[in-house]
Amino acid sequence: MLKRDLFIILVWFIISLIILTITTILVYTQVINISGRSIFLFINGVLLFLTLGFLVGNVKQKKGLINGILYGLVIVIILMLIQVLGFNDKLTLNLLAKYLVFILSTAVGGSLGVNFKPIVK
């Protein structure tokens, strides 16, 4: 089981790096306007968490909603610790709402992932 969990996180990490690299290139080449950057980054976050949920549901092939919420919660807790402890930011209601949307998108992705053929057996 631990092997599958590590595989899910590794694949999600690689997909995240690819998407974030493309996003960075688009911002630096000014294809994306700086004023729309926060909305664009939020949409990227939702897509990344949706992808994580899809991978979790697809690999586990059961309880996609619960597994998606658990994985999303773990990643959100890590993000909160980095943001609060690393950058000395405060937890605001807006930030908590954003993290809740990320967890919900992971749950939706997990529910969708269960319905597809497994990537890894």
**Is the pLDDT assigned to residue 28 strictly greater than 70?**
yes
pLDDT per position as a tens digit, 38-71: 777 788 889 889 988 888 888 888 888 898 899 8
17 falls within a domain: yes
83 falls within a domain: yes
- The pLDDT assigned to 83 comes to 81
100 falls within a domain: yes
pTM: 0.77
- The pLDDT assigned to 120 comes to 64
Q: How confident is the model at residue 73 (pLDDT cuts 50, 70, 90)?
A: very high
Runs of H (alpha helix) within the chain:
2-28, 37-60, 64-81, 93-114
Angle, CA 105 vertex, CA 109 and CA 29 arms, to 5°:
100
Query: Which residues span the domain enclosing 96?
Result: 2-114
- The pLDDT assigned to 106 comes to 92
Contacts of 113 by beta carbon, 8 Å cutoff, 6+ apart:
53, 54, 55, 56, 57, 58, 59, 64, 68
Total count of domains within the chain: 1
